[in-house]
C-alpha cells in the first residue's frame, strides 16, 4: 500500500514532510509486535494513529482495546486494566475481565499513560515484559498476548526525573517513539485539511460552503490551533452549519477561534518561528527571539489590562453611585468612567447612593455598606495597587458576595467563567 492510499484510508491527512515521516514510520512498525510510544499534543491524532497501526498489523482480526488512563479514577484503574474476582471488594458481585484480558490476541492502546498511578505502573511493567498479571482479589497468574501502543502529551522523561513515573517502565515503553506533529509544525497542511473537513460536513448537512477570503485563509494558518486537528475539525463543522451559504471573512472566522492560548498569545497573533541562529547579543540589539518574547508579553499584558478594566467597571456599576465613584482616585475614576461609557452604562440613570440596580431590572436591593467601603479603602491610598493585586481583590469580593458561586461572580465581574477559572488557578485562589 502506498502512502497516499494509506492516508486516505486512515484519515491521516497532509503532505508536509513531518506527516510523511510519521506515515513511513507507521508502515515500518505496524507489521511487527514492537511496543510504540506516541507523543504529541492533545488533538494531533494519537488515537487515529493507533487504529492505523492495529489495522495494518497481523492482529487486525482481533480486538483493539482503547483505554484512556487519565479518565479512570485511581481507585478502580487496576480493576479496569486487569479485572477482578467476585468478592474482591465491596460491590464486586461477580468476576470481571479487564482490558488486558479483552485485548488478548489483539492490541491495547493506553492513552495518557503518564496519568497512571505508581502502584499500577509496576503491574504494567510486568505485563509488558512477560504478559503476566493478577486479577484484583486473585493469587492466580493470568497471561495475555497483546501488542501495546501507549500515548502521552506529557514529557515522560521529565516525569521520570521528578519521580512520578518509573524509569524501568519508561525504557520498556520507549522501544519505538513516534512524535506526532502539531498543526503549528506543519502549517502547509492546515488549509487542505480544513477543506477536506468542509467537504465532508457540507455533504453531511446538505449545506453549501462559499469559501473564505485571503485574510481568513491567512488567519487559519497563523492561528496557534491549541486543539490541533480536533479543534480544526470542530471549527469547520461550526462554519458549515452556522454560517451556511456565507462567504467567510476574517471577522466571521474569529468568532469560532477560542480564547488566549497556553503560551499567552492571542488567537489572531501570527505564529512566531523560533530562531535557530546563534548571533551574539549586544546591549542595544535584541535578537529575533528576544523581540518575539517581548511582543508576546505585551499582548498578554494588554489583554490582562482589558479584563481588569471591565471587571472594575462592572463591579463599581453594580454597587456604587456617582458620589461613591467621585471618592476614587482620579486615575482609577477616569478608567472606570471610560470603560462604563464603552459598555453604554449611564450611572446617573441607573444608580443611587447605597442601592444596586442593573439595566432591565426594576427591583432594587440593599448593598451592604462593608462592600462599598472595602473597595473604596482598597483604592483610597496614595499608592496605586498592581494589576495582579487589584484582580485578586475584585475576584475575592465577588466570590464572597455570592458565597463562592462562580457563575454569578463571573457575571458580576463581566468576564467568562472560563476566564475566572483561569484567574483562580493563576493566583492560587481555587
Q: What is the pLDDT of residue 312?
A: 60
Position 276 in a domain = no
Q: How far apart are CA 198 and CA 207, in angstroms?
A: 10
Position 28 in a domain = yes
Percent of the chain topping pLDDT 70:
70
Position 16 in a domain = yes
Q: Which of 123, 158, 181 is the last residue of a domain?
A: 181
Q: Look up residue 300 and give its three cell numbers.
A: 498578554
What's the whole-number mean pLDDT along residues 92-103? 91
Q: Look up residue 266 and give its three cell numbers.
A: 492571542
Q: Say whether both 31 and 121 belong to one domain.
A: yes
Q: Say whether both 73 and 139 belong to one domain.
A: yes
- Give the confidence band of 165 by pLDDT, cuts at 50, 70, 90: very high
Residues 6+ apart with CB under 8 A from 3: 20, 23, 24, 27
For 25: left if phi > 0, alpha if psi spans -120 to 50, otherwise beta; the answer is alpha
How far CA 287 is from CA of 265, 276, 316, 354, in Å, comes to: 20, 11, 44, 55
Q: Say whether both 237 and 309 belong to one domain.
A: no
Residue length of the chain? 430
Question: Residue 109 is part of a domain; what is its CATH number?
Answer: 3.40.50.300
Looking at the structure of the chain, the number of domains it has is 3
Q: What is the pLDDT of residue 395?
A: 86
Q: What is the pLDDT of residue 193?
A: 94
Q: What is the pLDDT of residue 86?
A: 87
Position 270 in a domain = no
Q: Say whether both 14 and 147 belong to one domain.
A: yes
Q: Say whether both 238 and 325 belong to one domain.
A: no
Beta-carbon count within 10 A of 23 CB: 19
Q: Say whether both 327 and 413 belong to one domain.
A: yes
Give the tens place of pLDDT for each residue, 257-305: 874 433 434 444 444 444 444 444 444 444 554 555 565 556 556 656 6
Q: Say whether both 246 and 109 belong to one domain.
A: no
- Give the confidence band of 400 by pLDDT, cuts at 50, 70, 90: confident
Give the tens place of pLDDT for each residue, 152-161: 999 999 999 9
Range of the domain at 325: 288-426
- Give the confidence band of 146 by pLDDT, cuts at 50, 70, 90: very high
Q: What is the mean pLDDT of the chain?
A: 78
More confident residue, 54 or 294: 54
Beta strands at 132-134 and 141-143: parallel, antiparallel or unpaired: antiparallel
In this predicted structure, which of 90-99, 264-273, 285-294, 340-349 has the lowest mean pLDDT? 264-273
Q: What is the pLDDT of residue 298?
A: 63
The predicted model scores a pTM of: 0.60
| Nearest to 33, CA basis, from 179, 178, 176, 177 | 176
Name the DSSP letter for residue 111: E
What's the whole-number mean pLDDT along residues 103-128? 94
What's the whole-number mean pLDDT along residues 205-222? 89
| Nearest to 1, CA basis, from 9, 112, 308 | 9
More confident residue, 326 or 94: 94
Beta-carbon count within 10 A of 399 CB: 20
**237 and 229 Cβ atoms separated by less than 8 Å:** no
Q: Say whether both 238 and 335 belong to one domain.
A: no
Q: Say whether both 127 and 206 belong to one domain.
A: no
Q: Which of 181, 211, 241 is the last residue of a domain?
A: 181
- Give the confidence band of 59 by pLDDT, cuts at 50, 70, 90: very high
Q: Say whether both 176 and 206 belong to one domain.
A: no
Q: Look up residue 94 and give its three cell numbers.
A: 461477580
Q: Look up residue 156 and give its three cell numbers.
A: 515522560
Amino acid at each position: 500500500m502506498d502512502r497516499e492510499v494509506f492516508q486516505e484510508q486512515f484519515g491521516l491527512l497532509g503532505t508536509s514532510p513531518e506527516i510523511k515521516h510519521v506515515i513511513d514510520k507507521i508502515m515500518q512498525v505496524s507489521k511487527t509486535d514492537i511496543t510504540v510510544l506516541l507523543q504529541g499534543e492533545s488533538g494531533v491524532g494519537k488515537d487515529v494513529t493507533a487504529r492505523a497501526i492495529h489495522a495494518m498489523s497481523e492482529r487486525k482480526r482481533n480486538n483493539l482495546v482503547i483505554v484512556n488512563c487519565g479518565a479512570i479514577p485511581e481507585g478502580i484503574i487496576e480493576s479496569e486494566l486487569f479485572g477482578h474476582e467476585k468478592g474482591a471488594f465491596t460491590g464486586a458481585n461477580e468476576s470481571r475481565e479487564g482490558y488486558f484480558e479483552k485485548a488478548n490476541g489483539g492490541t491495547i492502546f493506553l492513552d495518557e499513560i503518564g496519568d497512571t498511578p505508581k502502584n499500577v505502573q509496576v503491574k504494567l511493567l510486568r505485563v509488558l515484559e512477560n504478559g503476566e498479571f493478577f486479577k484484583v482479589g486473585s493469587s492466580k497468574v493470568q497471561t495475555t498476548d497483546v501488542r501495546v501502543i501507549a500515548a502521552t502529551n506529557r514529557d515522560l522523561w521529565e516525569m521520570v526525573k521528578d519521580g512520578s513515573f518509573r524509569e524501568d517502565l519508561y525504557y520498556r515503553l520507549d522501544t519505538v517513539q513516534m512524535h506526532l506533529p502539531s498543526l503549528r509544525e506543519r502549517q502547509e497542511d492546515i488549509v487542505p485539511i480544513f477543506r477536506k473537513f468542509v467537504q465532508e460536513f457540507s455533504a453531511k448537512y446538505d449545506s453549501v460552503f462559499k469559501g473564505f477570503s485571503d485574510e481568513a485563509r491567512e488567519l487559519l494558518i497563523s492561528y496557534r490551533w491549541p486543539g490541533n486537528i480536533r479543534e480544526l475539525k470542530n471549527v469547520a463543522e461550526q462554519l458549515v452549519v452556522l454560517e451556511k451559504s456565507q462567504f467567510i471573512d476574517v471577522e466571521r472566522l474569529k468568532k469560532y477561534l477560542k480564547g488566549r492560548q497556553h503560551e499567552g498569545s492571542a488567537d489572531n497573533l501570527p505564529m512566531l518561528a523560533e530562531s535557530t541562529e546563534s548571533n551574539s547579543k549586544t546591549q542595544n540589539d535584541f535578537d529575533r527571539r528576544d523581540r518575539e518574547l517581548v511582543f508576546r508579553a505585551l499582548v498578554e499584558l494588554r489583554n490582562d489590562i482589558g479584563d481588569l478594566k471591565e471587571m472594575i467597571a462592572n463591579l463599581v456599576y453594580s454597587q456604587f453611585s456617582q458620589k461613591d465613584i467621585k471618592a476614587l482616585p482620579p486615575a482609577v475614576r477616569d478608567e472606570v468612567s471610560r470603560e462604563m461609557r464603552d459598555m453604554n452604562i449611564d450611572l446617573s440613570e441607573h444608580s443611587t447612593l447605597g442601592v444596586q440596580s442593573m439595566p432591565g431590572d426594576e427591583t432594587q436591593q440593599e448593598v451592604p455598606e462593608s462592600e462599598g467601603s472595602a473597595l473604596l479603602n482598597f483604592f483610597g491610598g496614595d499608592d496605586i495597587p498592581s494589576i495582579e493585586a487589584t484582580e485578586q481583590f475584585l475576584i475575592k469580593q465577588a466570590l464572597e458576595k455570592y458565597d463562592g458561586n462562580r457563575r454569578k461572580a463571573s457575571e458580576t465581574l463581566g468576564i467568562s467563567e472560563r476566564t475566572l477559572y483561569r484567574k483562580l488557578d493563576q493566583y492560587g485562589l481555587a
